[in-house]
A and B are shown apart, each in its own frame.
Chain A
């Protein structure tokens, strides 16, 4: 008996069924049978170029990280079976937190079991119902969910618009609670880069705090790979940096780094930190190894930047609509869902996998074909992807 439990899904079911009916394959059910390398995987039995994995530096296939994981699983086992505040803190967790603090030149780090939980756990520990959160309108779902969990009042400001934030902070100047502004370094759907330096100026004028989610920019931007705040030389103005291990570092997990000494109190009230099992030791070991890779191989970032420029320029030259920002996230905006479905299916059938992003998960109600570039892509692989994009776009009449 489900006694009406699923009645609310009626409209979702209708939309889902019509999407699946209109597509030769379920766009939400792609299976990578196995990766052959960072850039090529087997999908539907065929070798497919991977341009939608967020694996920006290719480190999910790092031999160094893999060997560290194997060695650690052999010596320490495969899981912790407990929370960080009970039996789930191994010396490796402390070592990773210390290492991340060193990398970011910050005093403290909290490691979470996923990037999603890092946002939930940080936001819900920092603000409560008496406080106000100011979120960029295009914030990731984990930021909105963290806001909901916190119970704080949430005010959205226009995407990447410091002047709009300024106005909204001014309107709440008499509010008694704390005010926390949250922005992302690189926005995951569009690849847009935040003007963090300007946001720092605004939040300083209003005596608010700033948290930056560098999930897609850590390891990618900045001289040492610390993200957009480093690139824009404004790290001192950022109170909390949140990020993930599941993009440039190639593993799984998340973190919050800060200079605020109250972090040990956050560990005692952050529910997504407390009420879940901690990361398995082999994941911590692989992440530490991947951090070494990032530190020791700055050429990964320069190659990634070159590859991003090649794909961005290639898609622009075809006449496709993309953001003007050059980052490893490059999204082609299309006009209708049927057009995007046909385009995405044709790309996959021609051997190129990208992410299909549909409204309302996209910023302006238009569908996106979201590409993520890797340092591991060869110039020939990028040229092939651009060529396939061009052929499909012409066939579908998206370009002439």
Chain B
């Protein structure tokens, strides 16, 4: 798998769907807080899981502007490029 934004978004969705509480109909445009009912702590803990898969660390301030799964994928893609 390449680390393109769509691939990262697919990986995020796959990981999210492993949680039975997450709605089944999510897509890259789903909003993490509103559609998935994640609070700020849940978002931080979920990002920690993805960090290991991509071998990146996401500074907390970068999470502030993230609304959708696609935003998160773009953010991770950008950090991966910076840390390369």
Contact with A along B48-76 (1 / 0, CB 8 A): 10001001111111000000000000000
Q: A137-B48, A360-B40, A365-B42 are in contact. Are A154 and B55 (CB under 8 A)?
A: no
Q: How far is the CB of A93 from chain B (nearest CB, A)?
A: 34
B56 A171 Cβ-Cβ under 8 A:
yes
A137 B45 Cβ-Cβ under 8 A:
yes
Q: How far is the CB of A248 from chain B (nearest CB, A)?
A: 29
Q: Determine which of A153, A155, A158, A365 lies in contact with B41 in the assembled complex, contact meaning CB atoms within 8 Å.
A: A365
Q: A171-B55, A360-B39, A360-B40 are in contact. Are A156 and B60 (CB under 8 A)?
A: yes
Q: How far is the CB of B45 from chain A (nearest CB, A)?
A: 7
Chain A residues positioned under 8 Å from B56 (CB to CB)? 171
Chain A residues positioned under 8 Å from B83 (CB to CB)? 171-172
B45 A155 Cβ-Cβ under 8 A:
no
Distance of A365 Cα from B37 Cα, bound (Å): 13
B59 A153 Cβ-Cβ under 8 A:
yes
Kindly state whether residue A64 has any CB partner on chain B within 8 Å: no
Kindly state whether residue A94 has any CB partner on chain B within 8 Å: no
Kindly state whether residue B17 has any CB partner on chain A within 8 Å: no
Q: In A152-184, which residues have CB < 8 Å from any B CB? A: 153-156, 158, 167-168, 171-172
Distance of A156 Cα from B58 Cα, bound (Å): 8
Chain A residues positioned under 8 Å from B60 (CB to CB)? 147, 153-156
B55 A156 Cβ-Cβ under 8 A:
no
Chain B residues positioned under 8 Å from A359 (CB to CB)? 39, 41
Chain B residues positioned under 8 Å from A132 (CB to CB)? 59
Q: In A100-155, which residues have CB < 8 Å from any B CB? A: 132, 137, 147, 153-155
Q: In A170-216, which residues have CB < 8 Å from any B CB? A: 171-172
Considering only CB atoms, which chain B residue lies closest to A171 in the complex?
A: B57
Considering only CB atoms, which chain B residue lies closest to A147 in the complex?
A: B60
Chain A residues positioned under 8 Å from B48 (CB to CB)? 137, 156, 158
Chain A residues positioned under 8 Å from B22 (CB to CB)? none
The residues of B with any CB-CB pair to A shorter than 8 Å are 39-42, 44-45, 48, 52, 55-61, 83
Please list the 4 inter-chain residue pairs (A to B) with the smallest Cβ-Cβ separation, ordered nearest first. A153-B59, A154-B60, A360-B41, A155-B57
The residues of A with any CB-CB pair to B shorter than 8 Å are 132, 137, 147, 153-156, 158, 167-168, 171-172, 359-360, 365
Given contacts A137-B44, A154-B61, A360-B40, 8 further A-B contacts (CB under 8 A): A147-B60, A153-B61, A154-B60, A167-B52, A172-B57, A172-B83, A360-B41, A365-B42
